[in-house]
Chains A and B, each alone.
Chain A
C-alpha cells in the first residue's frame, strides 16, 4: 500500500471510530460491541501493562467500556483522536487501580517496562502514526539515559514520582527535577521541527 492509500485507510479508521462513538452516545449497544471488537485488544494490552496482573486488568477494562457507554456523548473530536481518547480512559483507570491496589514488592521489573519500546509498530495503515512514533522515540533517546528510562517507565508501567524515586534510590526532589527538565526538552524537541 502506498502512503496516500495508507493515509486514506488511517483516516477511514478514525472516521469509523468517531461514527461508532456517536452511535454509542445514542445508546446503541451494537455500536459498543463493534467498538469493543475493534479496540479491546489494544486497551486490554494497556491495562495489563499498567495493572501488572490479569484480574485487575479485566476489572479495569470492564469499567472502561462502561464509562465509554455512559460518557461517549462527551467525546470531543477537536480535543483528541478517538483512539487516544479511549487509550487515555484505559490508562487513567488502570493508574487509579494501580494506585489503590499496588503493593511495593509487586512492582514490575525495569526490563519489562523498557523492552517493549523496541517492539515493531505492526499497524500497517498508520503511516503518520509510525512517523510520530519514530520522532517521539528519537526525542526520548536524545535525553540522558536515566531520564529517558524514567519517562518511559512512568508511561508504560504507571509509576508515580514517588515510585520512580524509590526505584532509582534518589530523593523525590531529584527525580522531579530530572523528569521536569526532561519533559521540557522533550516538548521542545517535538515542537521545534528538528
Chain B
C-alpha cells in the first residue's frame, strides 16, 4: 500500500519535518540547520512544517516569567554591536507608542550580491508607513523575482479599493496597482523596480473600485512613509 511506505532517509520534506519537530540530534541537527541556510526550498519546507505544527503551542499553558528576568534582559541589550540600524532609528525617532501601533510596514530586501544563497545576512530596505486610519499593511520585496508582495493585515474599505503608489523624490505618484484586501497581492514591478529608491515614498490611497480613474491618487491616503536602508 503506497500510503504505508516509509519515506527514504534523504527525503527533504521528511527531513524538514524532523527538524521542525526537534527529532534530530547532534551532527544531524547541525547539518539540517546548515541546509536551511543554503537551500531556500528546504528552508521553506521547514517553515511550512513549523506553521503546520504551531497550533500545538496553543495547548501549552502560558506561564508568567519572574519579574527579575526582564531586568536581566534589559541590562544586556546594549552589549552587542549596534551598527547601521541607527540610521533607520533616526528616521523613526519621535513616533509615539500609539502611532507605532497603527503603523503599516514595508520590508524590502535589497538585491543579493550573488545568485547563490549564503549564510551572510542580506541588507534590507525598510519603510514604516504611518497609517492615520489604523490600516496596517506589510510588503516584502523579492529581489529574485522583482515582485513586491503586499500583505494587507487590516483593511477597512468596504466600497473602495486600496491602491499602492510609489512617489519618487520630487516626482509624481506612480501607481503600483490595486491591492487585494483579504490576501497577499504580488506586484510585478518590472521596469518600475528602479523607483524603489531609499528616498522614495510609498503610499496607499483608497480609490473607487478598480483603482483611480485618473492615474493619480484621488482618495484619502491611509498609509505612507519613506524608505530607509538598514
Q: Are A and B co-members of a single complex? A: yes
- Neighbour of B70 across the interface among A8, A33, A74, CB < 8 A: A33
- Given the complex of chains A and B, what is the CA–CA distance between A39 and B23 in angstroms? 25
The interface residues of chain B lying within 8 Å CB-to-CB of A136 are 52-53, 55-56
- Neighbour of B60 across the interface among A58, A156, A160, CB < 8 A: A156
A26 touches B89 (CB 8 A): yes
- Given the complex of chains A and B, what is the CA–CA distance between A66 and B24 in angstroms? 25
CB of A2 closer than 8 Å to a CB of B = no
- Given the complex of chains A and B, what is the CA–CA distance between A30 and B100 in angstroms? 11
- The segment from B10-18, B164-172, B209-217 that touches chain A is B10-18
- Given the complex of chains A and B, what is the CA–CA distance between A20 and B4 in angstroms? 45
The interface on chain A, measured as residues whose beta carbon lies within 8 A of the other chain's beta carbons, has a size of 90
B85 touches A25 (CB 8 A): yes
CB of A166 closer than 8 Å to a CB of B = no
CB 8 Å contact bits of A14-47 with B (1 = contact, 0 = none): 1110111011011111111110100011101110
- Given the complex of chains A and B, what is the CA–CA distance between A117 and B57 in angstroms? 9
Chain A contacts with B in 89-115, Cβ cutoff 8 A = 91-92, 95, 99
CB distance from A17 to the nearest CB of B (A): 10
CB distance from A191 to the nearest CB of B (A): 9
- Neighbour of B51 across the interface among A30, A84, A117, A185, CB < 8 A: A84
- Given the complex of chains A and B, what is the CA–CA distance between A22 and B21 in angstroms? 28
- Neighbour of B44 across the interface among A66, A79, A81, CB < 8 A: A79
CB 8 Å contact bits of A67-101 with B (1 = contact, 0 = none): 00110011011111101100110011001000100
- Given the complex of chains A and B, what is the CA–CA distance between A30 and B14 in angstroms? 40
CB 8 Å contact bits of B67-81 with A (1 = contact, 0 = none): 001101110110010
CB of A6 closer than 8 Å to a CB of B = no
CB of A127 closer than 8 Å to a CB of B = no
A190 touches B52 (CB 8 A): yes
Evaluate whether A180 and B136 lie within 8 angstroms (CB atoms) in the complex, with A79-B47, A154-B22 already known: no
The interface residues of chain B lying within 8 Å CB-to-CB of A151 are 21
Q: Identify the closest chain A residue to B47 (Cβ).
A: A79
CB 8 Å contact bits of B135-152 with A (1 = contact, 0 = none): 010101010000001010
- What residues of chain A have their CB less than 8 Å away from a CB belonging to chain B? 8, 11-12, 14-16, 18-20, 22-23, 25-34, 36, 40-42, 44-46, 48-49, 58, 61-62, 65-66, 69-70, 73-74, 76-81, 83-84, 87-88, 91-92, 95, 99, 116-119, 121, 123, 126, 129-130, 132-133, 135-137, 151-152, 154-156, 158-162, 164, 176-177, 179-181, 183-188, 190
The interface residues of chain A lying within 8 Å CB-to-CB of B4 are 181
- Given the complex of chains A and B, what is the CA–CA distance between A133 and B128 in angstroms? 33
CB 8 Å contact bits of B113-137 with A (1 = contact, 0 = none): 0000000010010101000000010
Give the interface size bracket for B toward A: 35 or more
**What would 25 A/B residue contacts be, using CB atoms closer than 8 Å?**
A11-B154, A16-B101, A19-B103, A22-B105, A25-B230, A26-B92, A41-B64, A45-B60, A58-B66, A77-B151, A78-B149, A83-B54, A116-B61, A121-B58, A132-B55, A136-B53, A136-B55, A151-B21, A154-B23, A161-B24, A176-B9, A179-B18, A180-B7, A181-B6, A181-B7
Q: Number of residue pairs across A and B with beta carbons under 8 Å?
A: 214
B55 touches A44 (CB 8 A): no
The interface residues of chain A lying within 8 Å CB-to-CB of B23 are 154, 159-161, 164, 179
CB distance from B30 to the nearest CB of A (A): 10
Q: Which 7 A-B pairs have the closest CB atoms?
A: A133-B55, A15-B153, A15-B136, A41-B62, A160-B25, A44-B65, A183-B17
B55 touches A22 (CB 8 A): no
The interface residues of chain B lying within 8 Å CB-to-CB of A116 are 59-61
- Given the complex of chains A and B, what is the CA–CA distance between A95 and B50 in angstroms? 15
- Neighbour of A155 across the interface among B56, B69, B86, B142, CB < 8 A: B56
B62 touches A42 (CB 8 A): yes
CB distance from B53 to the nearest CB of A (A): 6
The interface residues of chain A lying within 8 Å CB-to-CB of B11 are 180
